[in-house]
Structure 1
């Protein structure tokens, strides 16, 4: 699994993140501290206590695809 730090500013960013996760075949998780939620679930994403210090965890075979999509929407935290 590859971890990519993401930056979610509002619910629209969260919606786009879920859409990217849904386009991946494997499991995609969203990590925030000790919380781990399914990134393909809008309810799961909104259940996070904060949108700061969030990472998306995706399989190695789909990491490049996810990174490109996240960069195109300016969601990768630097």
Structure 2
């Protein structure tokens, strides 16, 4: 399983909610990395526990990256 990192930018709680919804649409695990922090992107509580919302990377399985990238672009969440 090859993971791909996609840089994302969350400006507010609504962006975080949309990101979680996109992650929930994936069949495989989706993580968010922010510095040394790694949280489950399918968990709203996990996303809110990040120390900051900028400089965040979304780690998705290579097989789902195109679908996720397209949805992130539609929601204007790409950094």
| TM-score by shorter chain over 0.5 | yes
Cα RMSD, aligned residues only: 0.3
Deviations along 1:5-24, one digit per CA (max 9) or x if unpaired, are 00100000000000000000
What does 1:15-54 align with in structure 2 at a 5 Å threshold?
15-54=17-56
Q: What runs of 5+ residues in structure 1 fail to find an aligned partner?
A: none
Length-normalised TM-score, structure 2: 0.97
- Please state how far the C-alpha of 1:56 moved relative to its aligned partner: 0.2
4+ residue stretches of structure 1 with deviation over 2 A?
Answer: none
Paired residues, what number? Answer: 77
Q: What runs of 5+ residues in structure 2 fail to find an aligned partner?
A: none
- Please state how far the C-alpha of 1:52 moved relative to its aligned partner: 1.1
